[in-house]
Amino acid sequence: MKDSPKPGTKAFRDEHAAKRREKIEEMVRELESVSFKQLEEALGVELKEQTLYKDGNYFAAKGIPIIIRDKTFRPGPDRLTTIGRRRIAYTEEKEAIGRIATDVVLSPKDFPGGPRNPDVSLMSQMYLPGAQITRALDAKLLSYWLQPHRTLVIDAGSTNTAICRQIELVAIPSSTRHITMLRIVSNGLSIARMFSDSDRNRQYELLPLGGTWDYDTDAMTGLLAERCWEAFALRPDIAVIGTTAIDPARGACCDTPEEAQIKTRMLSSARIKCISADSSKLLNPSGGVSVFASFSSEAIDCIITDWKINSDDKTALRFREEARSLGISIIAGREGMGAEASQQRAAKGV
């Protein structure tokens, strides 16, 4: 069992800062506004104003829609946007997706060493327990994980921002993950800012796409973004593309035709094609009017989601069976991964 950090140490302060910020987010969601005094009463400790203003700066830097006005934490204007609403929905599920997606993108720790399970026929399943993986994706992943230099294309969105928060925690180069350089291509402004502000990773190349920035979705889209993509002339190793809903009858959907255009280009150009979505978008698809990928193994290699897709619910069983019959893999973050992610961020001081 891991020992708690000693009082007065940086690790101790970082852990308490992470817990305090989680409490602030929780109270703002429930109460809409939380004064410094209310927060002190809720935590049972006396806090310096300077500390709380630093928390406000942290939220601003991370793109979290919470601001300080008159010594009170309030929802920021981003709360009214589509991306703002999505950032505060299904947060535990998205944290779990972020953890498992990091293993997919950066390769699992200790690969290609680590434990061997003779009962599992596909090696990638040894490192991604519980995943429903086809032999075709298994071969692709094993080849990809052995590459020291990799190119990831990841688009804007709340789930993909959660994924990038976990990727950013891993110092590259990493001997335990067999990676020395990561090139990141994204049309998400928050994602580009996250990596440009990082002081941990220096062995990556950041390629933000130009285009028209949509304040509502945080995405660079339009003709300029498409021409920028064409100018890069990339063949990414892996694409992780978000979706507002996956309907097996229609495919993966998004909000606008402009988004669909750039998502289609990003996804179709990659060797490994992944869709990221929390399970609500698979089990209760309701959003999205523009289809950018058909529900087929030609368009999608795998769906990265959370543990609820593996439930015994009839809808989940039917979705898994449809995916299996079409040769689409499902990789799900397990329950509790979100809590692990929060603890890891606290240990890293973020």
Could you tell me the residue ranges of all domains in the chain? 10-77, 87-348
Q: How far is CA 143 from CA 98, 135, 300, in A?
A: 22, 12, 18
Paired tokens of 198: 């990082």
CA atoms within 13 A on the CB side of 97: 29
User: Mean pLDDT over residues 250-261, rounded?
Assistant: 91
Q: Which distant-in-sequence residues (6+ apart) come within 8 Å of 235 by Cβ?
A: 151, 269, 270, 271
Residue 38, pLDDT score: 94
Who contacts 228 (Cβ-Cβ below 8 Å, separation ≥6)?
A: 209, 210, 211
Q: Are 34 and 28 in contact (CB under 8 A)?
A: yes
CATH tag, 87-348: 3.40.50.1360
Can you tell me the mean pLDDT for 305-334?
95
pLDDT at 133: 94
Cα separation, 297 vs 150, whole angstroms: 23
Q: What is the chain's alpha carbon radius of gyration, rounded to the nearest angstrom?
A: 20
Report the mean per-residue pLDDT for the chain. Answer: 86
pLDDT tens-digit map of 200-236: 656 788 999 988 888 778 899 999 999 999 998 999 9
Asked if 331 and 131 touch (Cβ cutoff 8 Å), the reply is: yes
- Where does 10-77 sit in CATH, by number? 1.10.10
pLDDT of 114 strictly over 90: no
Q: What is the pTM of this model?
A: 0.74
